[in-house]
């Protein structure tokens, strides 16, 4: 009898502890990022007509009986460790707000526990289509509630989840417009002017040469698709000094995109030579970080390719995306080391438990590359980094860059000793290079390869059909242009 009573008391005590440690006050007592509380109060989960308040644990833990206690223990341990041993000022809170990270501590079951009716009578046609797509998607990549509803728990005034038909419309102030493109007499650096706009950008002359493409077996943290190392000979070409900026991209968008056009709408344009550009984006492609000289992001490979066609047309030169070989040659700038500056990937990387505990070396790499350790999870303007040996900036990091080649993991197998290689003849996805502001140091090595993931990058896009011009789920992709040497006139 006494035993039973003691059991009851203990159960009561555990319950009291569990519910005390699940209160908002308890959460806030350790979670030292005040914006989270402020933005929660501004969000519809706190500020709404019904007067119902949704508390921290109702979203950040699964419902009771669906792994609640396990998740509570797991997050509790991680949070306690962070609270005791980490400097909250140094934690990258911006990164935690990104979708892929938010999925780690926001539980879809918790959303669905309350939001059982996915089809309230007031739901719009777009909303209905999105929810139908959500129900009908049986295979990965599946959309998660927060793919679309990322800001419902913590308000973000920059976030957009709508068809932004006014995107970029007023981006260029009325300045003097260039009448014609820059005339290039000889093969040296020049500044291109886009006719009809006030936008200009620098092109760097890259001399012809032969280099070792790929990474040797002994290079730390390499992946198998980077080998074998093979000799590649390239003709000279110009390459954009920096990644294509919003200023440049919006010049294209404004002249070729038709405002208000939806994705599937046919183009009735009598001028068959006219270049048809992007549809208006879904959401805010610049992520609210600003445009200007920041690299343009989230455009599809097709968009980037169309941009080059347009740029060629308005300037009379031959612009295109770089081949993968041109990209790596330009990035290396005649170096053969993992990076175009000194250093060991093993020292720079943040992967592995020891790195997490004892920190890593960021000194040299941080001055050349915008990557996970120094980016605050955003793109940066090119002024923030130093040039590579060829005088190019942000080849590695900042945003990953499209190449014209299709991606194949064994593309190098057949490439022994080649001249101006263009990659496989056919494929599904294209090569992207250089890593981005999200990347670990190991993925911004000169030889590191990656590729587009079209399906996964369009999960959130609720349009039918999905956009061919903008990726809804990839915020760290951009590109730079090359100009062919024989187009100098």
Partner 1 sequence: MEKESKNFNRRKFLGTGVLAGVGLASAGLILSSCKKELNNEALGLPPILRGAPKGRKLRAGLVGVGNRGTGAAINFISAGPDLEIIALADVFQDKIDSCRERFAGFQLPIPAENCFVGFDAYKKLMAIPEIDVVILATPPQFRPEHFLEAVVNKKHCFIEKPVCVDPVGARLMIATAKKAEALGLCVVTGTQRRHQEDYIETYKRVANGAIGKLTSAKAFWNQEHVWFRTREEGWSDMEYMIRNWNNFCWLCGDHILDTHVHNIDVINWFMGKYPEKAIGYGGRARRVTGDQYDFFSIDFDYGNGVSSHSMCRQIDSCANSTGEIVNGTEGYTNCINTIWNLDGSVKWQFEYPKDENGNPMNQVKIPPYVQEHMHLVYAIRTGKYVNEAERTALSTLTAIMGRTAAYTGQIITWDAIMKSDMDLGPTKLEFGPVDMIFETPIPGTPVKV
Question: Can you give the binding site for partner 1, defined by CB under 8 A?
Answer: 117-121, 123, 125, 128-129, 131-133, 136, 262-264, 464-465
Q: By C-beta, is 76 or 465 nearer to partner 1?
A: 465
Q: By C-beta, is 117 or 426 nearer to partner 1?
A: 117
What CA–CA distance (Å, rounded) separates 221 from 482? 29
What CA–CA distance (Å, rounded) separates 67 from 108? 12
Q: By C-beta, is 131 or 149 nearer to partner 1?
A: 131
DSSP per-residue letters across 341-365: SS--HHHH---SHHHHHH----HHH
CB of 458 to partner 1, least distance (A): 12
CB of 141 to partner 1, least distance (A): 15
CB of 226 to partner 1, least distance (A): 36
Q: By C-beta, is 163 or 433 nearer to partner 1?
A: 163
376: CB partners within 8 A, 6+ apart? 92, 94, 95
Q: By C-beta, is 50 or 117 nearer to partner 1?
A: 117
CB of 270 to partner 1, least distance (A): 16
Q: By C-beta, is 226 or 461 nearer to partner 1?
A: 461
Mapping DSSP to helix (H, G, I), strand (E, B) and coil, where does residue 442 land?
A: helix
* Number of other CB atoms surrounding residue 25 within 10 Å: 9
Strand partners, 206: 237
CB of 160 to partner 1, least distance (A): 22
CB of 459 to partner 1, least distance (A): 13
**Tokens linked to 430:** 């294209």
Closest to 59 (Cα-Cα) out of 115, 118, 20, 6: 115
Mapping DSSP to helix (H, G, I), strand (E, B) and coil, where does residue 146 land?
A: helix
Mapping DSSP to helix (H, G, I), strand (E, B) and coil, where does residue 200 land?
A: strand
96 HSE (CA, 13 A, CB side): 13
What CA–CA distance (Å, rounded) separates 100 from 394? 24
CB of 126 to partner 1, least distance (A): 10
Q: By C-beta, is 34 or 120 nearer to partner 1?
A: 120
Strands 400-406 and 430-433: antiparallel
**Tokens linked to 264:** 């599937």
């Amino acid at each position: 009898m006494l035993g039973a009573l003691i059991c009851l008391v203990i159960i009561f005590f555990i319950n009291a502890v569990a519910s005390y440690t699940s209160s908002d006050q308890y959460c806030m007592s350790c979670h030292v990022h005040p914006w989270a509380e402020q933005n929660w109060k501004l969000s519809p989960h706190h500020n709404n007509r019904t007067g119902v308040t949704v508390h921290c644990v109702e979203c950040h833990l699964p419902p009771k009986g669906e792994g609640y206690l396990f998740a509570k223990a797991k997050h509790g341990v991680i949070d306690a460790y962070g609270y005791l041993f980490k400097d909250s000022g140094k934690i990258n809170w911006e990164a935690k707000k990104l979708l892929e990270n938010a999925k780690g501590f926001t539980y879809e079951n918790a959303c669905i526990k309350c939001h059982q009716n996915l089809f309230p009578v007031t739901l719009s046609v777009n909303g209905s289509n999105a929810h139908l797509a959500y129900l009908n998607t049986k295979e990965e990549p599946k959309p998660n509630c927060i793919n679309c509803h990322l800001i419902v728990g913590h308000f973000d005034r920059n976030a957009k989840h709508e068809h932004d038909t006014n995107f970029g419309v007023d981006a260029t102030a009325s300045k003097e417009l260039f009448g014609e493109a820059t005339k290039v007499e000889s093969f040296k650096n020049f500044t291109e002017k886009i006719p009809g706009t006030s936008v200009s950008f620098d092109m760097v002359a890259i001399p012809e040469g032969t280099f070792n493409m790929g990474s040797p077996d002994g290079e730390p943290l390499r992946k198998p698709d980077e080998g074998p190392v093979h000799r590649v000979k390239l003709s000279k070409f110009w390459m954009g000094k920096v990644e294509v900026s919003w200023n440049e991209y919006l010049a294209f968008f404004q002249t070729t995109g038709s405002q208000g056009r939806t994705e599937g709408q046919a183009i009735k344009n009598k001028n068959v030579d006219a270049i048809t550009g992007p549809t208006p984006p879904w959401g805010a492609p610049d992520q609210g970080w600003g445009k200007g000289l920041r690299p343009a992001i989230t455009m599809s490979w097709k968009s980037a390719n169309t941009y080059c066609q347009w740029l060629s047309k308005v300037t009379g030169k031959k612009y295109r995306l770089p081949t993968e070989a041109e990209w790596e040659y330009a990035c290396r700038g005649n170096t053969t080391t993992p990076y175009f500056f000194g250093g060991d990937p093993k020292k720079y990387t943040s992967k592995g438990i020891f790195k997490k505990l004892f920190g890593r070396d960021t000194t040299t790499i941080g001055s050349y590359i915008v990557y996970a350790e120094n980016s605050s999870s955003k793109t940066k303007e090119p002024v923030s980094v130093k040039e590579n040996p060829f005088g190019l900036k942000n080849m590695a990091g900042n945003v990953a860059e499209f190449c014209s080649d299709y991606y194949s993991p064994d593309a190098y197998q057949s490439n022994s000793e080649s001249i101006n290689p263009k990659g496989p003849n056919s494929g599904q996805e294209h090569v992207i290079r250089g890593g981005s502001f999200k990347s670990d140091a190991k993925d911004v090595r000169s030889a590191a390869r990656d590729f587009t993931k079209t399906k996964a990058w369009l999960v959130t896009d609720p349009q039918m059909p999905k956009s061919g011009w903008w990726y809804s789920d990839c915020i760290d992709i951009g590109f730079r242009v090359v100009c062919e040497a024989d187009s100098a006139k």
